[in-house]
Structure 1
Amino acid sequence: MSFNTHLSLCGPLRQPHQMLAEQEYSGHTSIHDDAMAEKLGFRAGPIEGPTHFSQFVPLLAQVWGKDWFERGCLSAHFQNMVVEGESVRAFVELPASGATRTRAWAEKADGTPVLEASASIGPDHGPTLLEERMAQLRPPEKLVILSDLKLGMTGAVDEPVRMDADQHMGKLYPFSLSQKLEKITENSAWYADASSSPWGRPIIPLEMISVLVEYTSPKARFPVRQPVIGLFADLEIRIIDGPLFVGEDYLLRREIVALSESKRTESYWVRTRIYDAGGQHLKAEMLLNHATLKHSLPDYESLRQSG
């Protein structure tokens, strides 16, 4: 008997933890600080979007097994913020046999959407959700915060980076991997125990890849006007030759691949390529839409009119 019914895997309700309350960049606190969030019109500091990526990993491992960790991609558009204490559930639609892409999404307990995503397995991913969204972007009318950015602009330098288990990840991420694993929603022995890992080494959790990439992001020296508050609006993590390992040296290269604007934000989309330490072999990529809040820049409207 055959049906056309789309079936999905769903994970348990989880209450992710807020670990960025003390985040600092460009000399000020971030939107994850409750006081700053309330000043900007939000009810509390939101949990960082990549935190929700962890809830998809057991589901995608069920779909694609070990291959997911070596060449999987999760491409997500964040829809509504989550604050600590709220419950979230992840869903993944079961793909047809042989399919390399499927739909994924997360919801709060009351059904409020948290994010929509595509999940895929390489090398033949097909267009990801964010590639589709980028193709529909209209050129911005006038940029103020991002007026000095240009498409194709690259980071000022190649950035060596690594993540050790007890390494403090700086002002942007004021915690270590070991501290994250105490609170991560879906823990695995593969993240800390070399003997249990199929690769003989601990692997970096999916949600911590954004931490690895953003750890050295100030070195790119992209000329964004300050002081402004930003947030992650879209995020794609694509593993090409993985997984990425704890205690491994990597080299990052950044490029601005899109500029866009909405009623409330100016956005720059950065693709960061993660290479081996020698910069020869591509291991993974991250595509991030940095959305900067217009009203967080003092005198934004007057600057826009006079510029």
Structure 2
Amino acid sequence: MNVYVLQVINGVGIGMIYFLLAVGLSIVFGLLRFVNFAHGAFYLLGAYACYALMQQGLGFWGTLVLAPILVGAAAWLAERLLLRRMYDLPHEFHILFTLGLAWAIQELVILYWGPVGVNVPPPDLLKGVVMWGSFIYPKYRLFLIAFSALLALAIWLLLERTRLGSIVRAGSEQADMVMLLRINVYRVFGLVFALGAATAGLAGALAAPLRGVEPFMGVEALAVAFVVVVVGGMGSFSGALIGGLLVGIVQSIMSTLWPQGASLMIYIAMALVLLLRPDGLMGRSQ
């Protein structure tokens, strides 16, 4: 099979991880305009939770359930005890505080697990490759695409077909109007913040068998998440999906054409999108 076709398929798999990483960040900003620079740390915690749980004897499938729950619970506590006090402050305080929180989490991870990265094996069921004529592709990457697509559908149903989703979408448009309806936007935000962190933690657990686990992966993830959100449009589910796929495919194809500049190209793509559509591909004018 043509190498570029394989790279596009690889890009779809990577892009779906980027979508899971970025969708919570996008919705959280859309709901209360809260800038969360600790989002990459939740991705980091999800990857290390996957590693730690498997070291304790829990199978990979169990970690996909338990790791995001643990990360979401930690995020809910952080929002409840710390971040909720900062909603009405300027964005500069959001950035400084969440950056400090991210660095604290990173240093705690280094203290406990050390500065050297570790490997997480895929489950036995997903080892090896799928062969279909000339199509040869790793089983785990195919699982990643299919599983992430199902998760994207589940998140879309949550946002479009439930009362919580209606409140989140309305709050992202006019939070003040929602509060006039006697809906506690801050309580909803706490739940959405935890769900967003849980999806980032799940993205970290899914990425662990692909790239391994190391203490500085959260910094890289945060940068990519912001690129995806800016490309797709703040507060947009479809924007996070399209942005994640676009960034993943660009990065994957460029790793063949220009390996040294693969990461650079995603920022160039972001700049081009901003020149043509300053609010992102699916963003609304503010």
Larger strand fraction of residues: 1
Q: TM-score, length-normalised on structure 2?
A: 0.30
Of structures 1 and 2, the one scoring higher in RCO (CA 8 A, sep 6+) is 2
Larger helix fraction of residues: 2
